[in-house]
């Protein structure tokens, strides 16, 4: 397979080459793609200075990413399965689409979008469950040069409309509902609420999935099956510039509303394909399964774009790990003889807690590679994954990356990079990590710890944040001049291996999903009885971090007192979605604030961790007594 690293010595050599001459390195990789016109220059970049960041890859090249998935693969793979869809309910039949069949569906839906008036550069919001049409819709957008913005189907109507409005999407693609375990999510109902506040949307395309009755608004809403009726499967791809936007994906940070991370065409394409092939060491004929939802970046890059660019067979799963029982993942591995599985520590821990029988009763001998992503994997989960799931035979690739990075940055190459439990190991070719201290000074040498930054661009990185370029600079490039700030802390061990420790900002990683504390606080504060709140993460055995909310309310009647917690959760559910619901709510009379009014979250975090032995200096607090009150009312056991 082209551009595939073959061994550790080869990796070390490629890494050196990629650092010594990045332009030559990436040009060589990109040669394997199909271009209407090749680049005039490989990279031009500036992380600082006027209008920074200014990052361009493959300047003036012309391409379409779907031609690289389909036309380029057609000769070899027309009849090879591209996508396997495994339904939520195992009694329903799976769907297998060959490259040829998927191509026709993408072209047909592309024509339907054109027919609805969608043009190059228009934004299309997609709010769908994990069904094949989600894959078809995103690639149809890419085919015609429309920018897709996929919104995870677990988000609430407010979260959905915020994202639609921010991107002023012209079309929304949704469904009558979605199946998740034994629940039905009423997506159209939620979308209808959102559309009341989304004036830019001209049409909603509605897929029939659950068959539940819904309301269709005449003139605005159209059925998926109607819009594709009579549509041709002939479609010429729109020719895109390398730096045109491919998609927007919203993600949370420590302040403000979620921001739309913008990824561009060529760099993302080259990077997602390259990292997919190399990290998983994908070989011709392998069965590859990433368990993520396409609503997150993992699904974008490693269910759809990376694997399909590489000509792989990619499985997409509609359901959840524990439905109908805790053996579901292993059923799927066995059913399709999966070779590479890519999942999250939270899923591993949840399944580990269900007992070994679920794993032992399945034949998992097809597995060759075990992938993990989303949060630091703890020692116990790593060993269980390695020994119980992989029977000690399969390398674990602990892949560190972010929505903003477009693809993996620090990860072992399966079977090539010697692994160590809990370590993301070494940077991929082209990636130049650096650890810095609080002042931004580089921490050199090994056996050190610091703030993880990246000092040189890579093709898959974000280019801006939608509609607010300065926010991109402020968030990622202003803290340490000339560096991309990841927001993570990391250790580098004696051998130069990286271990990601976790976020250094006010972002909580809940089950591998990024939740901004400010966003949750804003939602809680919307409750009419809430005066103020402070949210922190605390160690949670399955989720990694849980959400702990300290809340000050107005005085409450007994009745109100009884309902307040449920109401607060409900408020958060309505404003963001169930993933952001606090696990613990503690009503407090005050919050630990400095004299300048800043909440000292460090103290709240410590209490949430159950450790009040070392709270540090609290003498600068406006009212040090609140700390004692909070500790005595804490909902976790606190060591003093």
* Contact range with ligand WT7 by CB under 6 A, out of 21-29, 82-90, 303-311, 502-510: 502-510
Q: Which of 104, 162, 241, 488 is in the footprint of ligand WT7 by CB under 6 A?
A: 488
Pick from 39, 400, 466, 473: which binds ligand WT7 (CB under 6 A)?
Answer: 400
C-alpha separations of 376 from 380, 418, 507 in Å: 12, 18, 14
| Residue 402 lies near ligand WT7 (rule: CB under 6 A) | yes
Of 300, 514, 601, 606, the one binding ligand WT7 by CB under 6 A: 514
The least CB distance from residue 597 to ligand WT7, in Å, is 29
Query: Is residue 264 within the footprint of ligand WT7 (CB under 6 A)?
Result: no
**Close Cβ partners of 276 (under 8 Å, ≥ 6 residues apart):** 282, 301, 302, 306, 307, 309, 310, 312, 407
Count of Cβ atoms closer than 10 Å to residue 235 Cβ: 20
| CA dist., res. 284 & res. 506, Å (int) | 43
Smallest Cα–Cα separation from 441: which of 400, 483, 477, 478? 483
Using the minimum distance from each CB to ligand WT7, give the nearer residue, 149 or 402. Answer: 402
Which one, 484 or 548, has the nearer CB to ligand WT7?
A: 484
From 13-21, 226-234, 374-382, 460-468, span contacting ligand WT7 (CB under 6 A): 374-382
Using alpha carbons, select from 396, 402, 394 the residue that is nearest to residue 422.
396
CB of 487 to ligand WT7, least distance (A): 5
> Near ligand WT7 by CB under 6 A, which window of 350-358, 372-380, 474-482, 565-573?
372-380
- What number of other Cβ atoms are within 10 A of residue 145's Cβ? 22
* Minimum CB distance to ligand WT7 smaller for 203 or for 503: 503
Query: Closest by alpha carbon to 186, among 213, 148, 220?
Result: 213
Q: 3-class SS at 616?
A: coil
What distance lies between CA 373 and its chain's CA centroid?
A: 9
Residue 376 found at the interface with ligand WT7 (CB under 6 A): yes
CA distance 570 to 576: 10
Q: Yes or no: say if 255 and 477 are a contact pair by the CB < 8 Å rule.
A: no
Q: How far is CA 545 from CA 533, 535, 581, 588, 605, in A?
A: 18, 12, 12, 21, 11
- Label residue 427 left, alpha or beta by phi (over 0 means left) and psi (-120 to 50 means alpha): beta
Nearer to ligand WT7, 351 or 452 (CB): 452
Q: How far is CA 541 from CA 91, 357, 568, 595, in A?
A: 32, 20, 23, 36
φ and ψ at residue 452, rounded to 5 degrees = -85, 125
Angle formed at CA 576 by CA 573 and CA 580, multiple of 5 degrees: 70
Judged by CB under 6 A, the stretch of 38-46, 67-75, 183-191, 398-406 that binds ligand WT7 is: 398-406
Q: Which of 374, 390, 412, 460 binds ligand WT7 (CB under 6 A)?
A: 374
| Residue 373 interacting with ligand WT7 (CB under 6 A) | yes
Of the candidates 59, 30, 29, the residue with the CA atom closest to the CA atom of residue 264 = 59
Query: Cβ atoms within 10 A of the Cβ of 250, count?
Result: 23
Which residue's beta carbon is nearest to the bound ligand WT7? 403
Q: Which stretch binds ligand WT7 (CB under 6 A): 67-75, 427-435, 498-506, 515-523?
A: 498-506
Site for ligand WT7 in 410-429 (CB under 6 A): 424
Count the site residues for ligand WT7 by CB under 6 A: 23
By CB under 6 A, residue 318 contacts ligand WT7: no
Cβ nearer to ligand WT7, comparing 412 with 592: 412
CA distance 13 to 429: 9
Q: Which of 104, 133, 238, 375 binds ligand WT7 (CB under 6 A)?
A: 375
Give dist(CA 240, CA 238) in Å, integer: 6
343 counts as binding ligand WT7 under rule CB under 6 A: no
Least gap, CB of 379 to ligand WT7 (angstroms): 13
Binding region for ligand WT7 (CB under 6 A) out of 108-116, 174-182, 500-508, 599-607: 500-508
- For ligand WT7, the closer of residues 241 and 375 by Cβ is 375
In the complex with ligand WT7, the residue whose CB is nearer, 402 or 517, is 402
The residue to which tokens 């809940």 are assigned: 510
Q: Which of 474, 633, 637 is nearest to 52 (CA)?
A: 474
Q: Is 519 in the site for ligand WT7 (CB under 6 A)?
A: no
Residues 204-263 that bind ligand WT7 (CB under 6 A): 251
Q: Which residue, 397 or 626, has its beta carbon nearer to ligand WT7?
A: 397
Q: Return the residue of 247, 330, 342, 401 that touches ligand WT7, per CB under 6 A.
A: 401
From the CB of 423, what's the least distance to ligand WT7, in Å? 9
Of 146-154, 181-189, 509-517, 611-619, the segment contacting ligand WT7 by CB under 6 A is 509-517
Only one of the segments 131-139, 393-401, 441-449, 516-524 lies at the binding site for ligand WT7 (rule: CB under 6 A); that segment is 393-401
Nearer to ligand WT7 (CB atom), residue 332 or residue 485? 485
Name which of 395 and 512 has its Cβ closer to ligand WT7: 512
In the set 18, 33, 298, 533, which binds ligand WT7 (CB under 6 A)? 298
How would you classify the pairing of strands 147-150 and 123-126?
parallel
Least separation, in Å, of the C-beta of 502 and ligand WT7? 6
Question: Tokens in use for 269?
Answer: 């394409």
Q: Which residues pair with 611 in a beta bridge?
A: 639
Nearer to ligand WT7, 69 or 424 (CB): 424
The dihedral of CA 389, 392, 397, 400: what is its sign? Answer: positive
Report whether 447 contacts 33 (CB < 8 A). Answer: no
Q: Count CB-CB contacts under 10 A for residue 577.
A: 23
Helix (H, G, I), strand (E, B) or coil at 372: strand
Nearer to ligand WT7, 177 or 516 (CB): 516
Strands 240-241 and 259-264: unpaired
Which residue of 272, 281, 340, 403 would you call a contact of ligand WT7, by CB under 6 A? Answer: 403
Q: Which residues bind ligand WT7 (CB under 6 A)?
A: 251, 297-298, 373-376, 398-403, 424, 486-488, 500, 502-503, 509, 512, 514
């Amino acid at each position: 397979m082209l551009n595939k690293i073959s061994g550790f010595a080869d990796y070390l050599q490629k890494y050196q080459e990629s650092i010594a001459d990045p332009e030559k390195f990436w040009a060589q990789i990109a040669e394997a793609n199909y271009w209407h016109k090749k680049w005039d220059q490989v990279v031009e970049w500036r992380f600082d200075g006027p209008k920074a960041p200014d990052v361009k890859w493959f300047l003036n090249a012309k391409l379409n990413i779907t031609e690289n998935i389909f036309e380029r693969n057609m000769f070899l793979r027309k009849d090879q399965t591209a996508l396997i869809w495994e339904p939520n309910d195992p009694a329903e039949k799976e769907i297998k689409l060959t490259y040829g069949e998927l191509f026709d569906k993408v072209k047909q839906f592309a024509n339907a979008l054109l027919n609805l008036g969608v043009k190059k550069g228009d934004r299309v919001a997609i709010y769908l469950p994990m069904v094949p049409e989600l894959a078809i819709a995103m690639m149809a957008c890419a085919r015609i040069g429309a920018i897709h913005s996929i919104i995870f189907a677990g988000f609430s109507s407010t979260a959905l409309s915020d994202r639609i409005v921010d991107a002023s999407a012209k079309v929304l693609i949704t469904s009558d509902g979605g199946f998740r375990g034994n629940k039905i999510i009423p997506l159209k109902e939620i979308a209808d609420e959102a559309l009341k506040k989304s004036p830019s949307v001209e049409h909603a395309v509605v897929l029939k999935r659950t068959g539940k009755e819904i309301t269709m608004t005449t003139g605005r809403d159209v059925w998926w099956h109607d819009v594709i009726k009579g549509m041709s499967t002939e479609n010429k791809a729109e020719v895109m510039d390398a730096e045109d936007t491919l998609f927007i994906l919203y993600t949370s940070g420590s302040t403000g509303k979620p921001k739309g991370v913008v990824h561009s065409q060529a760099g993302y394409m080259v990077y997602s394909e390259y990292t997919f092939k190399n990290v998983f060491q994908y070989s011709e004929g392998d069965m590859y399964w990433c368990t993520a939802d396409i609503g997150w970046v993992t699904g974008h890059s490693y269910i759809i774009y990376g694997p399909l660019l590489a000509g792989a067979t990619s499985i997409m799963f509609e359901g959840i790990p524990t439905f109908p029982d805790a053996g579901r993942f292993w059923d799927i591995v066995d059913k399709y003889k999966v070779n590479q599985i890519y999942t999250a520590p939270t899923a591993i821990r949840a399944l580990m807690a269900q007992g070994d029988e679920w794993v032992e009763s399945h034949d998992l001998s097809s597995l060759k590679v075990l992938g993990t992503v989303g949060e630091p994997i703890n020692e116990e989960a790593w060993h269980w994954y390695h020994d119980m799931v992989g029977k000690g035979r399969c390398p674990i690739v602990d892949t560190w990356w972010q929505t903003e990075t477009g693809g993996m940055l620090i990860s072992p190459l399966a079977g090539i990079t010697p692994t160590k439990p809990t370590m993301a190991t070494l940077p991929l070719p082209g990636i130049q990590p650096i650890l810095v201290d609080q002042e931004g000074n580089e921490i050199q040498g090994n056996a050190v710890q610091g703030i993880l930054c990246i000092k040189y661009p890579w093709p898959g990185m974000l280019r801006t944040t939608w509609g607010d370029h300065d926010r991109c600079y402020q968030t990622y490039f202003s803290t340490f001049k000339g560096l991309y700030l990841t927001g993570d802390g990391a250790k580098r061990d004696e051998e130069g291996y990286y271990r990601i420790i976790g976020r250094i900002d006010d972002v909580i990683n809940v089950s591998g999903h990024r939740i901004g504390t400010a966003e949750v606080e804003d939602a809680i504060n919307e409750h009419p009885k809430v005066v103020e709140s402070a949210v922190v993460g605390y160690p949670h055995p399955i989720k990694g971090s849980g959400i702990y909310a300290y809340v000050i309310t107005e005085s409450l009647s007994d009745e109100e007192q009884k309902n307040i917690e449920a109401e607060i959760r409900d408020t958060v559910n309505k404003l963001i979605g169930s993933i952001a619901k606090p696990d613990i709510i503690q009503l407090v009379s005050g919050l630990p604030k400095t004299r300048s009014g800043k909440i000292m979250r460090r103290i709240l975090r410590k209490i949430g961790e159950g450790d009040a032995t070392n709270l540090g200096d609290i003498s600068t607090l406006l009212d040090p007594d609140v700390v004692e009150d909070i500790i005595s009312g804490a909902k976790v056991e606190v060591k003093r």
